Amino acid sequence: MLALTARALHTPLQRIDRPLVLIEEGAIVRLGSQSDYEVPGGAQLLNFSDCLLAPGLVDIHIHGAAGIDLMRADRPGLESFEKFLAAHGVTSYCPTTVAAPLETTLRSLARFADAIESRESGAADGPGRARPLGVHLEGPFLSHLRRGVHPPENLLPPTLSTFDRFWEAARGHIRLMTIAPELDGAPELIAAARQRGVVLSLGHSDATLEAAQTGVRAGARHATHTFNAMRPLDHRNPGILGEVLSNPLVTADVIADGVHVHPTVVRLFLAAKGAEGAVLITDATSAAGMPDGRYQLGPIEVEVKDGKCLHQGSLAGSVLTLDRAIRNVMEFAAWSFEHTLRAATLNPAKVLGVRQKGFLTPGADADFAVWTREHEVKTTIVKGVLRE
């Protein structure tokens, strides 16, 4: 048995001062105050005396980091990537695709499925590495007008037959899919994919308000990197952003790096979606954690300079880490650590429908980020294993 103590703990819905957490076989078995019970005899004690315990962060939109592009990653590369995530407090993530030639995407999905299944079986577990929860399929069902840097030749119309090929290659591990709801066939595919348990996210879209509402009625319940690669908000013709920002049924994520979305607009986004509906993502590329230079994002090359990741002058993912996103939101919007933490833990886990992640309670996975008073990540614990 492992016992954790610290200055305080955020579940994140509740703060517990001087907590005591008991962990066994990778799960939380008891959680409360040190005044309520004692460390059992024989338990290994980890005392993070002046630190905060919180759920491990959950990044549902990430393409790579530490020089590793996920669509190309081999097993050693994936392990390096997962160690990088853990160093920044991330214990769970969704490997995210980029629109690429069909066969390339199918091969990447098969590799993602291998990684997910090997971690589920414990065959490829390593100390304190982030774990994949399921695939985020970003593309190819995107608007040509709002495709961003996704190569136009790799975009495809949304059909069930094409989706079936992706589903089979991923062996059912597609958990989240970004789709432009205005495309012919999109509402039908949204409804069909939702029946398989996929979370449908509106994004890379030039949808009118009516088309976005049709997507929501079909089953879409989330929005991808809000404001980016979307029809701009207009006060007389609100478009997709009118639906995303006003509909409480729709959760939405944002890249809070101060580059993709101005800090003032981040504040507006958070005010619209609130503590329950806002999700922080990184949309990070292989350049995250690396010096300026040229890096890969799926089938395209990107250049990083002065904190911006660009392809032919357009933003192409980010170099953001999720712990930095939390600190940014605290600065941009004057949100408390507890509120901001929820947007990177409980909320993304709820978007995915994952009950064992993002919230600290008996029975949940023992995934923790340990934070200093300055809100820097000191270390992480994944399934009860301390990061080396």
Q: Walk along the chain (388 residues) and give the pLDDT tens digit of each residue.
A: 999 999 999 999 999 999 999 999 999 999 999 999 889 988 999 999 999 999 999 999 999 999 999 999 999 999 999 999 999 999 999 999 999 999 999 999 999 999 999 887 765 566 779 999 999 999 899 999 999 999 999 999 999 999 999 999 999 999 999 999 999 999 999 999 999 999 999 999 999 999 999 999 999 999 999 999 999 999 999 999 999 999 999 999 999 999 999 999 999 999 999 999 999 999 999 999 999 999 999 999 999 999 999 999 999 999 999 999 999 999 999 999 999 999 999 999 999 999 999 999 999 999 999 999 999 999 999 999 998 7
Domain(s) of CATH 2.30.40.10: residues in the chain: 1-55+359-388
CA-wise closest residue to 201 among 358, 348, 343, 341: 348
In the prediction, which pLDDT does 128 show? 78
In the prediction, which pLDDT does 119 show? 80
Cα distances (angstroms) measured from residue 317 to each of 97, 148, 375: 12, 10, 25
Token pair 């690429």 is found at: 100
Based on the number of CB atoms within 10 Å of its own CB, is 77 exposed (0-12), middle (13-18) or buried (19 or more)? middle
Domain(s) of CATH 3.20.20.140: residues in the chain: 57-357
Give the predicted TM-score (pTM) of the model. Answer: 0.97
Phi-psi region of 26 (alpha: psi -120 to 50; beta: other; left: phi over 0): left
SS3 387: coil
CATH of range 57-357; options 3.20.20.140, 3.90.120.10, 3.40.50.150, 3.50.50.60: 3.20.20.140
Based on the number of CB atoms within 10 Å of its own CB, is 122 exposed (0-12), middle (13-18) or buried (19 or more)? exposed
Q: At the topology level of CATH, where does 1-55+359-388 sit? A: Urease, subunit C; domain 1 (2.30.40)
Helix, strand, coil shares of the chain as percentages rounded to 5?
A: 30, 30, 40
In the prediction, which pLDDT does 123 show? 55
Run of H or E residues at 268: helix 263-277
Among all residues, which ones are annotated catalytic?
A: 283
